[in-house]
Amino acid sequence: MPAIKFRGVDFIQYDSLLTDEERLVRDTTRQFIEDNLIPIIEECNRAGRFPRELVKPMGELGFFGASLKGYGCAGMGNVEYGLMTQELERGDSGVRSFVSVQSGLVMYPIYEFGSDEQKQTWLPPMQKGEKLGCFGLTEPDFGSNPGGMRTRARKVGNEYVLNGEKMWITSGSIADVAVIWAKVENENDKIRGFLVETDRPGFKADDIHGKWSLRASVTSGLSLQDVHIPEANLLPKSGGLKSPLMCLNQARYGIAWGALGAAMACYDCALQYSLLRKQWRDQPIASHQLVQDKLTWMISEITKAQLLVLQVGRLKDAGKVQHQHISMAKRNNVWMALECARLSRDILGANGVADDYPIMRHMMNLESVKTYEGTHDVHSLIIGQSVTGIDAF
């Protein structure tokens, strides 16, 4: 069977809805992924290795903090940013996760809640990929309900002292700085964000091994034991659970686009395979009605998902997006992508379970993507609350 090369997915002249600049960002990212990630991703996935060698070139292409303005950032529009994450995740969800964390969960809170000095210190090197970040919200006992967190910060003189455990933290052990969310004891347990340099005494990051998902991404547990940081490391404009949720909104938006990329990779691979693979009377399996039905389901759902994220992106550009819009895009597109991965795997038969093809890797990755940044069901509750006015958490 000849190698299958991604061709893009556009059933309803979707490209005509995009500007020249938006198509340029998408095509540049697609080429970068094709040239640099596709040749190595299956090896990385097998070895459980994050392709760190791509960090510098990704920085040079402006992938980090891409939608922020100033500090060397690309200042992309939200649709451009989304198309970039789509193409990154068409390569691999782990690489897209790395970029989402660096951009939406570390650079964004510094940009949004940080002091001028914090912005000057961290944003330019992070944009270049010279410094890496991680985002510590989840704890061993608090995932969907982060408000229950046990991590505490205590103000002592002109320092804060942090204690606690964070779990499932993307890029934890490769980060230079961790954005840590903690309850401040001297402020009635108000949740605030802190910048913790990872070489401070008392800070430890241990990788989680044995993941069957996001194997090309680093995931760690963080331990903070009497970690002293200067008071200038508090993100001064952070306050309350709303602050980390604002960060999650940024990242969820990118995920909604990213999942679409994974779905497109699976669908296009299955389509090409079905035209090449012959069974019964020397005919391609694409000639069977049941196979066509699966392809039809996928192209229909991908097309609907494209329109959904495009509208959410346009609303975001216009400053009119609401968090429940982003919840719908994340929930729908990740579910749709996982279903596409399963159907595509089925179309490839036994070949679908091998890493000669990207499908099973995407399927396993998408299981994490369904869970993180608000599980599928948590987004159901967010949308449910928005339409009924009733909190069902």
Q: Which sequence positions are flagged as catalytic?
A: 373
Q: Which is nearer to ligand FAD, 358 or 374 (CB)?
A: 374
**Range 200-239, binding ligand FAD (CB under 6 A):** 214, 219
Is residue 137 a contact point for ligand FAD (CB under 6 A)? yes
Q: Which is nearer to ligand FAD, 136 or 358 (CB)?
A: 136
Is residue 384 a contact point for ligand FAD (CB under 6 A)? no
3-state secondary structure string, 198-240?
A: CCCCCEEEEECCCCCCCCCCCEEEEEEEEEEEEHHHECCCCCC
Q: What is the DSSP string of 234-280?
A: B-TT--STHHHHHHHHHHHHHHHHHHHHHHHHHHHHHHHHHHH-B-S
**Considering only residues 73, 101, 260, 340, which one is a binding residue for ligand FAD as defined by CB under 6 A?**
101
Q: CA separation (Å) from 136 to 193, 312, 349?
A: 9, 27, 40
- Enter the tokens of residue 28: 């540049």
Is residue 138 a contact point for ligand FAD (CB under 6 A)? yes
Q: Which is nearer to ligand FAD, 219 or 306 (CB)?
A: 219
H/E run at residue 164:
strand 159-170
**Considering only residues 120, 144, 283, 322, which one is a binding residue for ligand FAD as defined by CB under 6 A?**
144
How far is the C-alpha of 195 from the C-alpha of 233, rounded, in Å? 5
Check: CB of residue 257 under 8 Å from CB of residue 264.
no
How far is the C-alpha of 29 from the C-alpha of 230, rounded, in Å? 39
Is residue 372 a contact point for ligand FAD (CB under 6 A)? yes
**Range 159-198, binding ligand FAD (CB under 6 A):** 168-170
Q: Which is nearer to ligand FAD, 136 or 254 (CB)?
A: 136
Lay out the site mask for ligand FAD across 234-273 (x = CB under 6 A, - = otherwise): ----------------------------------------
List residues near ligand FAD by CB under 6 A. Answer: 101, 135-138, 143-144, 168-170, 214, 219, 368, 371-373, 375, 377-378, 393
